[in-house]
Structure 1
C-alpha cells in the first residue's frame, strides 16, 4: 500500500500514530534500552548514550534554522514556528555536556567525539531535507524527535535514576525535555490539524517521520560506531 492509498483511509494523525508504533518496536530491540528495562544498565552505558546523543543534538538547531529559512511567505506560519523552535533548541547540547561531566565524563573527550553511524545518517538526512523549498515534511521529523522527548525521556530518566542512583542534576537533559517537548508537540499538533497541509504535504510528513524514526533508532543501536 502506498502513502497515497493509506491517506484515503486514515487521517494524518492516525498515519503518524502507526509510524510511532513502528518506532516503539525498533526501540524495544535497542540493546542499551533493553538493559535499561532489565535493570542491568551501567553508568558507562549512560555515559555512552549521552556521548552519542550530544554529537547529533548539536546539529538540531542549525537544521531547524535552515528549514525555517527555506519556507516562503506563503508558508509564514511554518517559517515562524521553525525560527522560534530553533531559538529554543540551540542550547540543548549544553545540558547534555553538564550531565556528562556530572557522571564522570570530561568535556574534552565529549567535544572531541564524532557522530556514530546512525547519527551521521540522521543529521545528513535532516540537513538535506531542510535545504528543500518549503520543507513541510520535516513536521514528521519533529513528530518523532519531540515525541521521544515528551513520551520517553522522563521514563528513561526515571529508570536510569532508579537503577543507577543518579541525582536530578545528572539526568537534567532528559527531565527538561519531558516538559519542553510536550509543549512543542502541542504546537505541532495544532499545525497538523489546522488544514494548512495539502494531501501531498501529508504524504511528505508521514514519509519523513518514517525515515527519521528508523534513523533515530539506528543512532541508538550504533553507539560509538
Structure 2
C-alpha cells in the first residue's frame, strides 16, 4: 500500500474584516477612483486642453446609453426594499423619479453640438456601460439591496464633485455655451443635495458590519466599471 501525502496551502490567510468606520472606507474608494480617472484618455485630454468637439460628442453618446438605465435600476432597487426599510424605499423612489428625465438633458446637449437624434437613440452601450448596468440590475434585484448605497456614493459623488468641473472645462476649451454643457452643470448642482441625503443613510447606526461590507464592495466595483465606461468609448 502506498501512503498518500496530503497537501495544504500555506502562507495564505483570508483578509480580516475591515472594522474602520464606513465613511473612512468609502473615502479610500473615492481616492482610488480619482487616481484612476486621471488616467482616462479623454479626461487627460480635457485637463491638458487638447480635447476636441468630436471627443465631447463621443462622450455624450456613450454616457447616454447608461444614463437611460440609471433610473430603471434605482426603481427596481426601490421595489425590493421591504417595509422595514421603508425610508430607503421612499428615498429610492423619489430619486428614480428625479433621474428618469436625465437622458433628455443629455440629449439636448448632444443635439446642441450638432448630433443626430436618430444616431443617439440607435446607440449601444459600450463594454463598460454594459458591465455597469448589468451589475447594478443584479444588485438592485436582490432583497433589501442596501449595497446599492455604494453605487450611489460613487455616481452621485461624480455628479457633485466632477461633472461641473468637466462641463465648465469642456465649455472653456471648446468655446461652448451653457446650453451645450447643461447636463454636466445641472448634476453639479442637483447631486449635492442627493449626496447629503445619502450621507444620512451611510452614517446611520442601522448598517451592520455585513451591510457596510456590501456597500464598500459595491462602491469599489462601480468605481472600476465607471472608469471602464469612460475609457472604452465606442467599444461595444
**TM interval, short-chain normalised:** over 0.9
Pair 1:106-2:116 in alignment: yes
Larger Rg: 2
Q: Distance in 2 between matches of 1:51 and 1:216?
A: 15
Shift of the alpha carbon at 1:195? 1.3
- Name the residue aligned to 2:138: 128
Match for residue 64 of structure 2? 54
Tell me, yes or no, if structure 1 residue 143 matches structure 2 residue 156: no
Deviations 1:174-216 (A, max 9, x none): 0000111000000000111121211110000000000000000
C-alpha RMSD of matched pairs (Å): 1.1
Moved over 4 A (4+): 1-4
Tell me, yes or no, if the aligned pair for 1:117 and 1:219 is still in contact at 8 Å.
yes
Structure 2 counterpart of 1:78: 88
2:167 paired with 1:162: no
List per-residue Cα deviations over 1:87-109 (Å, max 9, x = no partner). Answer: 01000000010000001101000
Query: Residues 205, 91 of structure 1: CA spacing in aligned structure 2 closer, same or farther, 3 A cutoff?
Result: same
CA distance in 2, matches of 1:4, 1:104: 53
- Alignment partners' CA distance in 1, 2:210 and 2:91: 20
2:21 to 11, 14, 36: 11
- Residue-pair matches, total: 223
CA distance in structure 1 between the partners assigned to 2:231 and 2:16 by the alignment = 31
Q: Indicate which of 100, 116, 119 corresponds to 2:126.
A: 116
Would you tell me which structure has more helix in proportion to its own residues? 1
TM-score, structure 2 normalization: 0.93
The correspondence of residues 176-187 of structure 1 with structure 2, limited to 5 A, is 176-187=186-197
* Structure 2 CA distance for aligned equivalents of residues 17 and 54 of structure 1: 27
Tell me if the contact between 1:3 and 1:203 (Cα under 8 Å) persists in the aligned partners.
no
Instruction: Structure 2: give runs of 5+ residues left out of the alignment.
Output: 1-12
Query: Unpaired runs of 5+ in structure 1?
Result: none
The aligned residue for residue 225 of structure 2 is 215
Q: 1:176 to 1:30 in 2, by over 3 A?
A: same
